[in-house]
Amino acid sequence: MPGDFSLGELALRFGVELRGDPQLRVRRVATLAHAGDGDLAFLANSRYRRGLPETRATAVLVTAEDAPACPGAALVTRDPYGVYARIATLLYPTPAAVPGVHPSAVVAAGARVAPSATVGAGAVIESGAEIEAHVLVGPGCVVGAARIGEGTRLGPRVAVYDGVRIGRRCIVHAGAVLGADGFGFAPGSGGWIKVPQVGGVTIGDDVEIGANTTVDRGAIDDTVIEDGVKLDNQIQVGHNVSIGAHTAIAACTGISGSTRIGRRCLIGGMVGFAGHLTIADDVVVTGMTLVSASIREPGSYSSGMPAVETRAWRRMVAHLRRFADKERR
């Protein structure tokens, strides 16, 4: 159940300027277009400014520049989105899980589950697992001999293999697979020889991992995800990859083995990284880019081709092909 706060209290708590009645109360968030009585909205991008004059929100988080156009109360701040994030967290607190192991869950004799932890229906906790205080293991999860740090929450049906260490306050969404074998094979006379993947996975604190994302265990040393990293859905992290603190990566990106990504990078969706690369701190990579060489300097990098009409595209491709052919002769 969302909370209910007066604008005066919110202004005080989050250090923002209130233009309006401090007694007004908000209990939900809403978009400018759909907000009504009791709703808090925000305007962070001036692109959406035209929605402001008509909103029926009780209050709107806005910059000083936009405040005059606000028809109701305005909470004025230089960072409407950041303050929105913090107020929304207050209004929608994560429901506290009831501690205890669901009767249908299977906890092996050699596993350690903190009394304050919650293990959902049908979950399987194998021998050697260490489930720390206030951890939530969602329904249908399978956790091997891994350590899940204090306050971390696993959604439904997450698989955690042996040798994975997850830090504190992490969130892992449904279907994620942490610690499956990396893709390592040596060519042999009768086919591929599997190279045992004997490393683990080390994940820092405050990491979020999206639905159906896969993080492979290391071949020898660990695959490493540092504190505060945010991974979207369906990302593939190869063996011995390292991702620096506070880097955020959008959905469907794939990172090949042993590539090291720096800190505070912003990686777009469906980006592909070749293996054994080093990417500096503070690098931005736009969506659908192929990163096939190391990036030594901060900055923005791209290679995704923007769509055009298929007919025009055929001409561009023909141009490139003629060029290649010309060179060949």
Active-site positions?
239
User: What is the smallest separation between the CB atom of 17 and a copy of itself, expressed in angstroms?
Assistant: 19
Q: Is residue 323 part of the contact set for a copy of itself (CB under 8 A)? A: yes
Distance separating alpha carbons of residues 214 and 270, to the nearest angstrom? 14
User: What is the smallest separation between the CB atom of 21 and a copy of itself, expressed in angstroms?
Assistant: 24
Q: Which of 17, 71, 89, 127 binds a copy of itself (CB under 8 A)?
A: 89
User: What is the smallest separation between the CB atom of 131 and a copy of itself, expressed in angstroms?
Assistant: 16
CA dihedral over 31, 36, 41, 43, signed as positive or negative:
positive
Q: Token pair of 224, please?
A: 């490493």
Beta bridge partners of 110: none
Q: Is residue 286 part of the contact set for a copy of itself (CB under 8 A)? A: yes
Q: Is residue 185 part of the contact set for a copy of itself (CB under 8 A)? A: yes
Reduced to 3 states (helix: H, G, I; strand: E, B; else coil), residue 13 is helix
User: What is the smallest separation between the CB atom of 188 and a copy of itself, expressed in angstroms?
Assistant: 6
Show the binding pattern over residues 58-77: x = contacts a copy of itself (CB under 8 A), - = does not.
Answer: --------------------
Q: Is residue 157 part of the contact set for a copy of itself (CB under 8 A)? A: yes
> Is residue 314 classed exposed, middle or buried when 0-12, 13-18 and 19+ CB atoms within 10 A define those classes?
exposed
Distance separating alpha carbons of residues 52 and 60, to the nearest angstrom? 9
Closest CA to 237 of 209, 204, 278: 209
Q: Are 140 and 123 in contact (CB under 8 A)?
A: yes
Nearer to a copy of itself, 117 or 285 (CB): 285
Q: Is residue 292 part of the contact set for a copy of itself (CB under 8 A)? A: yes
Q: Which of 69, 97, 106, 114 binds a copy of itself (CB under 8 A)?
A: 106
Q: Are 134 and 117 in contact (CB under 8 A)?
A: yes
Q: Is residue 313 part of the contact set for a copy of itself (CB under 8 A)? A: yes
Q: Is residue 1 part of the contact set for a copy of itself (CB under 8 A)? A: no
Closest CA to 171 of 94, 262, 245: 94
Q: Which of 126, 135, 202, 262 binds a copy of itself (CB under 8 A)?
A: 126
